[in-house]
Amino acid sequence: MQPLQKSMVAPASANSPGMGWAQCCSHILSVRSTAIVGIVTFLWLFATTGLYPLLLPDEGRYVGVAWNMLSAGQYSVPRLDGMPFFHKPPLFYWLTALSLHVLGINEWAARLSSVLSATLAATLMFWFLKNHVSQRVASVAVVILATQPLFFGAAHYANLDMTVAGLIVATVLVAAVAAFKYESQEPYRVVLALAYALAAAGFLAKGLIGIVIPGGIIFFWLLLRRRFGTMWHMVSVLGVAVFLLLSLPWMLYMQQRYPGFFDYYIVYQHFRRFAETGFNNAQPIWFYMPVLLGLTLPWSIHLWRLANKAWWRNSEHAAVRSLMLTWLLVVVVFFSLPSSKLVGYVLPALVPLAYFIAELLVAKMQGAQSVRAFKTFWWSAAISVAICMAAVAVMVARPQPSSKGLAAKLQPYLKPTDNIVMLGRYYYDLDFYLHSGKTAFVMLNWDDPGIKQADNWSRELYDAGLFEPKTAAQLLITPAELIKKMCGARAEDLWLVGQAGSTDDYAFLRGMAPQVQDGKLRAWHVPAGPSLSFCGETPKSAPK
């Protein structure tokens, strides 16, 4: 096998003292260069992550769950507004709760998991390509990956996509190293067990795709190369034991505590959402082609060079090239099959994309057109950096709708005993910015059968309430129940949070002036005490 010839020949002269020192120095320099790449990548990605508020709904939702864990001091059950939230597994919440604890309640800490995962992917790609292709290809590839607008943007987004993408990348690369070690007759079992451990982390990050994607990539890669013996040895009893030890305890505990957990978490959230239609974000089967080509500009312009037949026929690094091709196809095809598609699903494909562009550019750099190739590379890098910085500038100058401003104005008035009531909508990020750690009442017509067919915030809260009906009965209130609260004696103040147009939907607000407002958001104060003057009126139904 061509990529391994050098490592298979090396032991013949390994007894030479000079060779031993050379190998030791080479290893130290290799570790040092990889560490430098990791540090620079982290600083590049992290520097601007805290400059704008959390984006809704995803960042508010997932960071809100992590904040709920931290504020309540309860880390086993992910909770959305105090109710079990089993749409996704817990690893992202655990990591984010830890970063919020260490760095404080701010956007930098909220997005740290995504930054670290992106750094892991870029650093391991550099390390792998440096060892199995060349230092130059590795260096060019990491610049391409880190400056791709899609990769940069995903590292700035606090949801689960970059976390699982980083772990998928790590699993594939470590498993490929284990396969190479087996084929060159080197010890491989510990490395393979590490790959299984990373797959378990991927499973805890976003479920079955943490296993299916890397497993499919390695399987089809070895099948393409007809390495059936290697394929057999990739099935490891030790690895399976490590995987089960890391991934099963949380699931078993949740199933024991909430008997409907397995059906909801595995059957519904994994299989039904993959196979069925009717969920949000329905897109055509070709959706990811323009996504990959458009959101990796200007680097994707160089992909036309893949039509070079001589490059594909070159046997040097053929194993790595086939790995990357299989990797790209498995990710794109797998996520193109379901009707529901999100841009972040395809993030693991950015690594093989960066590799292909890097190897093609490096080939030009070493040929007759080297000066032109170097200029092309640096101009592409400069344009990519400019696009990334422009995107950050836009987010800072024109931040998306958020509860941050309202929370800042409401906080001076809010007492620890006060209660928040959200009118007709759940504001995911409000408690994060209030730093209160309290659940909110959410007012909606919860008897509306349309909620069960929805795929939005109301369905999320409704489903969460099914696991703890008593908690749901206290927090998910109807307009009539809110009227009852306000028309009885109240020991605590209420703060009604809604939109500027809420006065058109709820009659009881028309005689009240908002205490604070920010943009379209309003907060009305209902102090503790006797019944309000409007009692006896009938409010309009909450909007659907």
The reply to whether 301 falls in a domain is yes
303 and 435 inside one domain: no
Q: Token pair 């130290």 is at which residue?
A: 28
Checking if the pLDDT of 540 tops 60, the result is no
State the pLDDT at residue 534. 66
The torsion angles phi and psi of 475, rounded to 5 degrees, stand at -100, -35
Residue 11: per-residue pLDDT: 39
Answer whether residue 324 is part of any domain. Answer: yes
The answer to whether position 448 is within a domain reads yes
Same domain membership, residue 319 and residue 258: yes
Q: Which among 367, 397, 427 is the end of a domain?
A: 397
Can you say how many angstroms the Cα of residue 74 is from the centroid of all Cα atoms in its chain?
22
- Verify that 168 and 35 share a domain, yes or no: yes
Quote the CA–CA distance of 316 and 425 in Å, as a whole number.
Answer: 58
Long-range contacts of 218-221 (CB under 8 A, 24+ apart): 218/172, 218/175, 218/176, 218/179, 220/326, 220/329, 220/330, 221/176, 221/322, 221/323, 221/326, 221/327
Residues 136 and 209 in one domain: yes
One domain, residues 420 and 323? no
Confidence (pLDDT) at 279: 59
Task: Assess if residue 531 is contained within a domain.
Answer: no
157 in a domain, yes or no?
yes
In-domain check, residue 98 = no
User: Average of pLDDT values for 201-209?
Assistant: 94
Domain membership of residue 445 (yes or no) is yes
What is the value of pTM for the model shown? 0.91
392/486 same-domain check:
no
Over residues 145-171, the mean pLDDT reads 97
Task: Write out pLDDT tens, residues 22-81.
Answer: 454 455 556 788 899 999 999 999 999 999 999 999 999 999 999 999 999 999 999 999
Model pLDDT for residues 210-253, shown as the tens digit of each residue: 999 999 999 999 999 999 999 999 999 999 999 999 999 999 99
Residue in the block written with tokens 């690594």:
351
SS3 state at 139 = helix
Residue 524 pairs with which residues in a beta bridge? 496
- The count of structural domains within the chain is 2
305 and 415 both lie in a single domain: no
Is the pLDDT at 5 greater than 70? The verdict is: no
Which of 105-109, 178-182, 364-368, 374-378 has the lowest average pLDDT? 364-368
Residue at which a domain ends, from 337, 367, 397:
397
- Which residue range forms the structural domain that includes residue 507? 404-526
Show which of 366, 397, 428 is a domain's final residue. Answer: 397
Each as own residue / partner, the long-range contacts of residues 23-31 (CB below 8 Å, 24 or more positions apart, any chain) are 30/127, 30/130, 30/131
Any domain includes 61: no
